[in-house]
Structure 1
Amino acid sequence: MFDAILFPSAPSFFAEWRTVYFEPIPNSGEKIAILIAIKEISGKIEIFDALHPTVIDSLYGAKATSFNGYIKLIKSNLLKNNGESTIDGVSIGDWHASQSENIHGIVRQALYKTASLGSVALRGLFEEDSHIENEQVDSRWSKRIKNAVIEIDPSYEKSFDVKIPIGRDVRIPCGFHTSRYSAKFNVCTSQTITRMKSNLMDLQIFDSHNVSNNFDLIIQMPTDDNLQVSLKTLARMKENIELLKEEVASKSNIQIYTCNSEEEGATRIFEMLKVS
């Protein structure tokens, strides 16, 4: 009966995982999963983020940079202490034995089983069309790129968050603007193609009025191996980006640039300033 059925082979990667929690208010009992620690059979410890940068922005706003720095400190502490923490306000779950195809499969299991406020917020962001929330996410992405740029060259600080006059009574916001090059910024989520289309329309207006030589829509995208975004969601997001690229294919002065971090976004801006 079962001769013609092919069963998948058993996962060959074995490891243990444990979740690292942060307690925002000491002794409150509230905990947020911030990291996943993986211990391979060899004893090697690897640490993975449980919170997507976009979620950290949403949760902590102006304090997101400080919180990211705190997470880096905790990571360093865990690696120095073989997966244990010596920092106040940090608690760690038990080790759990597991197996999967690779280490990323183990991490996904850990994230699923210890769903935190962060992962719930991420699902809401990528699966629901929350106009206000996504505008805030875009704004924080723009601010992160701004900080990355002015850290390298502070003279460009006034080039961010500019309202460009079009005609007599219209002023259109622009994330970054110089006479040579202008850019707008979006974070790609599964249902936010409308917002990105709106920014492309603004760039087309800028182009038709010759406000700059070249234009970018700089979009933050999860990487292919991102642990917090499902493969199905990521595929839908890529489809949206391809649709947008088809729309601007004939517009030589406008490009869509995707990246994962504000450092990559800043690098793109400086590259375009050189060639524009």
Structure 2
Amino acid sequence: MFSDIELLKLIPTPPTYKAVWAPIYFEPIAGSGEKFTIAVAAIAESGEYKVKQSIRQHVVKAMYGNKSDQFTSLIDLIISSLSAHLDKTKQFNNWIAPIQGVSLGNIKNTASTDMLGVLRQAVMLTASLSSLDFYSNDDEIEQYSSDNTWSKQVKDLVVNNHPSLDIYFNKSFKVVSEARAAKIFFLSERTAINTERLRPSNIAIDLDRNKARLLDLFAVHDYDYFFKRNTHELIVYRPLEDDPTFSKQQMKRLKDALLTLEEVGDKHSIIVTPVSTPQQALKRIERAEFNFAA
């Protein structure tokens, strides 16, 4: 039988990181009353503060299409404005939003293990759009196609910086005539690169897609008799570690999935590189193709 002291030891220690947080609302149509949370902000007792976007980028693209970049710029402007205010005052009071239709929600007290935990609470309680995944069922196994896919963002950025590389994108690699052709995102005389997303909210499907990308790279690597390419690499998009729109459990599953891909890649001399922005992917392609610094 447990003693009272032993039972007390089983009770989890309450979190000691205290903070206040607030959502930042945006009303697209003035006076409509329809608002959604675009960011969350928190201030700790120590004075530490952080403002983070709470609506995922692919959701923004689904909602605003070819105007998504302008909307993202507005979010960045709002985050910068509030961050500058918090840097000076360490409080939410008297912040003036830089554009109309933006407002600060109710300020709430909370406690957690750290700042990221506070922001995750804020997202969970106020930002329903953060959990949506408009592209969870898109069919990208056979080709890189959608205007809103991660792969198109990377390709557009690379071609914009290096127009001569356009001819190397979206190639097929045939091992034998009877076999299915391997789909390769970027295939030149010296480089074979595939890319795919790995999202915590869609981990099982995305992991299978990444494995398919690896299999296609295996085909190039194992039958690379003619060109002897220097680089065979899978570039994997993953959200930032401090993205508050995902839980700790989701981020742990993401890390486990990445480790699985890295172990499989190592066995076949395929580099697996996680990135969080198209700019980081660009640097990997430049490094492979031009020997630029990573």
TM-score for both structures, normalised by structure 1: 0.82
Deviation string, structure 1 residues 21-63 (Cα, Å, up to 9, x no partner): 2223333332221111223346664311212334334444433
Displacement of 1:19 = 0.3
Of 201, 207, 228, the match for 2:221: 207
- Aligned residues: CA RMSD: 3.1
Larger-gyration structure (1/2): 2
Displacement of 1:148 = 3.5
Deviation string, structure 1 residues 56-106 (Cα, Å, up to 9, x no partner): 344444333222212111112223444421311212202112222222121
Counterpart contact for 1:182–1:215, Cα < 8 Å: yes
Cα distance in 2 between the residues matched to 1:41 and 1:235:
28
Cα distance in 2 between the residues matched to 1:44 and 1:239:
30
Cα distance in 2 between the residues matched to 1:44 and 1:200:
42
Of 125, 128, 142, the match for 1:113: 125
Residue in 1 that maps onto 2:155: 146
Residue 176 of structure 1 pairs with residue 205 of structure 2: no
Of 200, 223, 245, the match for 1:228: 245
Residue 3 of structure 1 pairs with residue 5 of structure 2: yes
Of 232, 235, 240, the match for 1:218: 235
Closer/same/farther in 2, CA of residues 206 and 88 from structure 1, 3 Å limit: same
Q: Which runs of 5+ in 2 are unaligned?
A: 87-91
| Most deviating of 87-96 and 168-177 | 168-177
Residue in 2 that maps onto 1:248: 265
Trace 1:186-205 onto structure 2 (pairs within 5 A): 186-189=196-199, 190-191=203-204, 192-205=206-219
Cα distance in 1 between the residues matched to 2:267 and 2:140:
28
Q: Which runs of 5+ in 1 are unaligned?
A: none
| Most deviating of 67-76 and 203-212 | 203-212
Deviation string, structure 1 residues 147-175 (Cα, Å, up to 9, x no partner): 44345434334433x23352669765432
Trace 1:157-176 onto structure 2 (pairs within 5 A): 157-160=166-169, 162-164=170-172, 166=174, 172-176=182-186
Closer/same/farther in 2, CA of residues 63 and 185 from structure 1, 3 Å limit: farther
Counterpart contact for 2:55–2:127, Cα < 8 Å: no
Residue in 2 that maps onto 1:132: 138
Cα distance in 1 between the residues matched to 2:173 and 2:48:
57
| Most deviating of 58-67 and 166-175 | 166-175
TM-score for both structures, normalised by structure 2: 0.77
Cα distance in 2 between the residues matched to 1:171 and 1:194:
18
Q: Which amino acid in 2 is paired with 1:247?
A: V
Displacement of 1:222 = 2.9
Q: Which amino acid in 2 is paired with 1:62?
A: N
Cα distance in 1 between the residues matched to 2:148 and 2:215:
18
| Most deviating of 150-159 and 233-242 | 150-159
* Secondary structure at 2:289 match in 1: helix
Displacement of 1:110 = 0.8
